[in-house]
Structure 1
Amino acid sequence: MTRTADAERAPEDVLVALADPIRREVLSTLARDGGATSTSLAARLPVTRQAVAKHLVVLDRAGLVRAHRAGREVRYEADLRPLKQTMHWMNALAAQWEQRLDAIKKLAEGTEQTQSP
């Protein structure tokens, strides 16, 4: 699978990947434990290995996991860079909204002051 460069990764890919609680648990497990196979992940989760494999595809598409072949096994590791980029985007968006809300507040306060007797 060809992935886009990290700088071009869309925040919605990460948000879609994280929308599912099983995928969040898979990512948390990989980040905490440093890596695992789909079989070992399935042993810890209430889903089948095939379901875990499908979840890993979504996480891979978002750039949140990397797969490495080790003999006959495929091991997955967390890659949190896209998550950090999405957090940066969300913080920038929140800052823009804060600026807008501050401007509205100042406008409203200024209007009230000019109408006072």
Structure 2
Amino acid sequence: MNPAAPPQNIAQDALKYTPANLQHNAQVMLFARSSVAAVTGAAAGVLGLTGKDGFVFYGITWLVMSFVLWSLKTRFRPDLYFKNGAREIWTEGVFGGLLSFILFHTFLYGMVHLYQ
């Protein structure tokens, strides 16, 4: 064993939190969340979910998407992919996604239900 070489666990820990890796992980999560927010906003607009029902629909889809990211993408180990771990998976981008949801909801609600 070479005393100058760091143990393998320390070397792996140093590599997993490199800025490029963290930025890539954040971009993947942002893209997935933005896409889901747009699609669910469009679906809520077409379905005519307004007021509290629309926000509940957004909340449910947000929780489902967070669970999918937590279980499938990170395999229940978000601390390996994000500095803040599970907190980042469940809370990052809530309001940005809400704005996308409202935008697509308003547009498609107006297109479908305005002239009925």
Q: Say yes or no: TM over 0.5.
A: no
Bigger relative CO (Cα 8 Å, ≥ 6 apart): 2
TM-score normalised by the chain length of structure 2: 0.30
Greater C-alpha radius of gyration:
1
Structure number with the higher strand fraction is 1
Structure number with the higher helix fraction is 2
TM-score normalised by the chain length of structure 1: 0.30
